[in-house]
Structure formats: C-alpha cells, structure tokens
Amino acid sequence: MNYQTFPPHPDLNAIVKCHWILEVPGDLEAPKQLVVPDGCVEMYFILGDDVKRFTSETDFIIQPRTMVFGPITKPYYVRPTGEVNTFAVRFYPYGFANLISQPIHELADKETPLNELFDKQSVRTLEQEIIEAASTEARIKVIESFLLSKLKDQWVIDNIVKSTIDTLSQTKGNASIHSILKDDLSKRRNLERKFSKQVGISPKQLGRIIRLQAALKLMLNNKEAKLTQVAYESEYYDQAHFIKDFKEFTGTNPKEFLSDDQMMLSSLIYARD
C-alpha cells in the first residue's frame, strides 16, 4: 500500500492542505476500510478500479470516479473492487468554499460528482488531462491550474472562520467557542452561520473532530500508551468521555481500532497526516 502526500503551490496553500495518492495492488485482498471524520473536504479522481462505499452492513454504492466528498460527521466504510489508484486534493475546512457558491453543508456526508459543481466542459477536460498525465507531479500541475482558474474573482478567507479553526487546531480541539469569542453571543450566531456555509459543520462539531484526530495520532504513534493517558493528554473529561467520542466518530472502541484490519487505511493516513 503506497500512500503519499504532496504540498500545494504557494498560491493555493491557504486553502489546500495537501495533494495525496493511494496505490494498492489489485491482488491484495483487503477487508472493508474505515474512513474517519477529519473536518476536511476532499476532491477525488479514481484512476484504478471502482470503489464501493457501504451505506449499511451489506448495501453499497459505487463512488463517482471524479467527485468531491464533503465534510463527514460519521464514519463510513469503503472497499475497492480491484486495483486502487487514487489521486486527490485535501482542502482545509474553510478552503473549498472559495471555489463554489453553494453552501458547504449541502455537500456534507456524501459524494458530489465534479460536473455538478463546475461547468461540464471544463470538468471533462480536467478528467482527460488527469487520466493522461504521466506522473503525480504532472497531475498536481493540472489540478492546480484548474483550481486557480476556478477561484472566485475576489476570494477572501473569512477571518472569523479561519481564526476559529486555527485556534481549534492549535489547541487540538480543546478551546471552547465561548473562550474564542469572549462570550459574545452575537458573534457566536454569526460564526455558526458562516461555518454552515463555508465549513459545512458547526464549530463545536469541528472541535470534537479535531480533538479525536489528535487522540488518534497519539494512539497510532504510541501503541503502548494507556487509554487513560491518551484521554488525559487529549484533555477529555475522563476515559469514559474519550471512549464515547471515539465510538461516535469511528464506530468502534480504541482497542479494536488498533487491532482491526478494517482500520488499516485509517491507521496509515492518520498516523502520518
């Protein structure tokens, strides 16, 4: 399994977190793989065989081959039908809003084909150039040219949204919205509206996701750490609170996550991201 990330062009690094690739041989029989919420929006190009996303224990859909997956608030499972060859762009929580006019919350927890978000001709050209590109570096140049051409004429990252997300990230999700906004109720209502449009989930929900991501990294980078230690360092109230949040966002408990083959992909991505 080959997972790599690549930094964006300086003109895009305010909205794009990274580009990434995932390659898995078709003869590697992997079980369903868990995808965990991280607050980001992803643009995918599936260049290998089709990928199933499970909507229940047995039911699934085939994911569009070029799509945007909005911010996810609950775990889901995917399984390739053969060879995996995926090229993708990971946007910061506030990043993708600078490319489209519709509210990001309309994209949450689902796949949206790229040609429903941008004009169909430019998407067809983009898809063909991505497919024909001879290397990952060439694909990055193609997608970055596309993204720069689609940025709004006067795009501005909203300061109140960005500063809130920056504070949540710096404190690993542990800063309260009250403390960030100095208990100003009018600012909180304004922030909630802007998060719905630009991020797709609430500030509180994003803070919980960021804290869970921080706990995941602690677990994956120190598999000998006790759950009480992880809960304490991640500033959960107690171990029970940590396990409750963990189950909500991953669908399993921490011990099973570390030992289950279905968590292989998540473990690879979140340990290195």
Thinking of the domain 2-150, which architecture would CATH place it in? Sandwich (2.60)
Spell out where the chain has E strands: 2-6, 16-24, 33-35, 41-46, 51-54, 60-62, 66-69, 76-80, 84-91, 111-113
Q: Are 270 and 34 in contact (CB under 8 A)?
A: no
Write down the CATH number for the domain with range 159-272. 1.10.10.60
Q: Which residues of 211-241 are buried (b: 16+ CB within 10 A; e: fewer)?
A: bbbbbbbbbbeeeeeebeebbeebebeebee
The predicted pLDDT at position 153 comes to: 45
Q: What is the pLDDT along the chain (273 residues), one digit of tens a residue?
A: 788 999 999 889 888 999 999 998 877 666 788 888 888 999 999 999 999 999 988 899 999 999 999 999 888 999 999 999 999 999 998 889 888 888 999 999 999 999 999 999 999 999 999 999 999 999 999 999 999 888 754 455 566 787 788 888 888 888 777 777 666 667 777 778 888 888 888 888 988 998 988 888 888 877 777 888 888 888 888 888 888 998 888 888 888 877 766 666 666 666 566
Region of 235 (left: φ > 0; alpha: ψ -120 to 50; beta: rest) is left
* Nearby residues of 13 by Cβ (< 8 Å), 6 or more positions away: 7
The predicted pLDDT at position 154 comes to: 45
The predicted pLDDT at position 159 comes to: 66
The predicted pLDDT at position 130 comes to: 97
Spatial separation of the C-alpha atoms in residues 125 and 214, rounded to whole Å:
39
Q: Where are the domains of the chain?
A: 2-150, 159-272
Is 159-272 in the same CATH topology as 2-150? no
